């Protein structure tokens, strides 16, 4: 009997769409590891992250460093929940390149709650102080302007969660 192939779970959705909550639920599965971009960025680059341009520079460094590790996890049979934004063609191209170095299955989860829901969640998240980064409504709108939903032509197994429900089930 063959062991199931590992899966790379990727997440697409605007700021506060519920990606991290969804990721944590997915990561509860056996033989699955959760890798959270915001935690790594905060640990490595917190002092350098002031602007969207800083984010792009730092996340590129992080992705270059993490790619071989992620490929090794997948090739070793571990599933990975990649809590990195897959909100642009560029970010998804990086993820596709990861997949091409493995024999893993994949799922790209697209969370699409309305902006009003994201902004409500963002307010609660900011007020809690538990997230490593605070995002203003203005920043939410600036970042959202770069959001590009994935298309079938990109070749991913797409799972849409249009209602904003991030419950992965029992």
Structure tokens given for 95? 């993820």
Alpha helices by DSSP H, listed for the chain, are: 19-26, 37-45, 52-75, 89-100, 115-128, 137-144
- The answer on pLDDT for 34 being more than 50 is yes
Q: Which fold has domain 7-161?
A: Rossmann fold (3.40.50)
- Higher local confidence (pLDDT), 135 or 59: 59
Residue 50, burial from CB neighbour count under 10 angstroms (0-12, 13-18, 19+): exposed
Would you say how long the chain is, in residues? 170
Domain boundaries along the sequence of the chain = 7-161
Residue 11, burial from CB neighbour count under 10 angstroms (0-12, 13-18, 19+): buried
- The answer on pLDDT for 3 being more than 90 is no
Q: Could you report the per-residue pLDDT of 46-60, keeping only the tens digit for each?
A: 999 888 889 899 999
DSSP notation for 35-48: EEHHHHHHHHHGGG
């Amino acid at each position: 009997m063959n062991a199931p192939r590992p899966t790379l779970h990727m997440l697409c959705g605007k700021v506060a769409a519920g990606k991290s909550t969804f990721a944590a639920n997915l990561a509860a599965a056996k033989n699955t590891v959760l890798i959270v971009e915001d935690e790594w960025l905060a640990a490595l680059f917190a002092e350098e992250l002031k602007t969207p341009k800083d984010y792009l520079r730092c996340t590129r460094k992080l992705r270059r460093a993490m790619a071989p590790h992620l490929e090794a996890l997948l090739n070793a049979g571990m599933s990975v929940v990649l809590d990195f934004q897959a909100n642009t063609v560029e970010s998804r191209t990086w993820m596709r390149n990861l997949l091409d170095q493995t024999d893993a299955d994949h799922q790209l989860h697209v969370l699409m709650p309305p902006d009003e829901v994201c902004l409500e969640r963002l307010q609660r998240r900011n007020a809690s102080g538990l997230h490593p980064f605070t995002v203003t409504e203005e920043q939410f709108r600036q970042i959202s302007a770069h959001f590009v939903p994935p298309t079938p032509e990109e070749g991913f197994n797409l799972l849409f969660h249009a209602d904003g429900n991030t419950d992965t089930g029992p």
